[in-house]
Structures are given as structure tokens and as C-alpha cells.
Amino acid sequence: MRRSTAVLGVVLLVGLGPVSLTSWGTTAQASSPKPHKSSKAAPLIPPKTSPVQDARYLTDVAKSDPDLATYVQQQGNVALKAMLTDGSAFCAFLRRGGGIDDALLNVAAGAKSVESETHLPSGVTTFNAMEAVALIDLCPAEQRLVPASVRSKLHRLRSALGSASA
């Protein structure tokens, strides 16, 4: 809890305006997720991250989507845990296989299943922001698993956010 409180302080102190995200061009819709079934045999392995990476992720997500910054202000630690879980889950689903659309759909289904507890905003823009920033801050090695057009947009987003991650 102490780490989450410190991260909340970092997120709330971010004074930069929101970064405009462009659509990833996926067909994923948060309102109607259909999880990929054929990858069940492969285990989900979340990225191993440090508290510094977690804080950078939460800060960058708050910069990239004003709805998430408001969400953190309203929900506190619940929001921080939900966003970290979402980003880590996206990395794990992407690593497991099935492509970016499949990973987005699986994460959206999981988020929807706990929405009554987390109150996570469910817009496609919000999910795209969390997943894009996860690829930059939590699992940059998984960028190789997404199309070149997405990697190009990630590079622009990383520059806009001022992240030092590679």
C-alpha cells in the first residue's frame, strides 16, 4: 500500500497536458469482448517490473488519457491496481500469442468482469492508452509482437511522453 500511495502522489503531481493518442487501427471493441480460446494451454506470464517502472507506467497513462487521471483521483489505490493489472495482463496475453487484437479483447473481457469493483473506464481510447503505455513502460520487448505501424505510433507516443524506455 505504501508504494501505491507514493505512486498516486506521482500521478497526481503530473502537470503536463494530455497526450493525444491515435487509433491503433484494431478491431477490438471494449463493449463486446470475445476472448481467444486456442491459447489457453500457454501460461500467462506477466512482465517482471520494478516499482520505478510501475510508477512510470502510471504516470505516463495519466498523461496519455485525461479520463484515467480523473479515475485515479476518484478511485485512488483501486485505480492504480486496476491499471497496473490491465497493463501487465495485456503484456502477458500478447506474449502468450494470438496477436494484438486477441490481447486487447482478452484484457477488455477481464476488465469488464471486475468493472463493478474497479469502475475502470471502459472506452476503447482508454484501453488503447493503457495498452500502448504498457508496451512502452512495462514490456517493451513485446513491441516485436505488434505490427510495424503500431510500433511507429508507439515510438511517437514514447517521444511525446518523454519516456526514456526503449
Q: Measured between alpha carbons, how far is 50 from 112 in angstroms, rounded to an integer?
A: 27
Q: What is the pLDDT of residue 40?
A: 58
Name the residue ranges covered by the structural domains of the chain: 50-166
- Average pLDDT of the chain? 78
Q: 27-58 in b/e burial notation, b at 16+ Cβ within 10 A?
A: ebebeebeebeebeeeeeebbebeeebbbbbb
Average confidence (pLDDT) over 103-130: 89
Which stretches of 14-138 are assigned E, i.e. beta strand?
none
pLDDT single digits (tens) 19-29? 333 333 333 33
- 41 falls in which pLDDT band (50, 70, 90)? low
Q: What does the pLDDT average to over 92-114?
A: 92
Give the dihedral sign, CA 47/62/114/101: negative
How much is the pLDDT for 126?
87
Does pTM surpass 0.75? no
| Spatial CA neighbour of 3 closest among 66, 57, 42, 74 | 57
SS3 (DSSP) at 14? coil
pLDDT at 166 (0 to 100): 42
Single-letter amino acid code for the residue at 39: S
Dump pLDDT digits (tens) for 138-160. Answer: 999 999 999 999 999 999 999 99
Residue 59: count other Cβ atoms within 10 Å of its Cβ. 23
CA–CA separation, 7 and 63 (whole Å)? 14
Instruction: State the average pLDDT over residues 102-121.
Output: 90
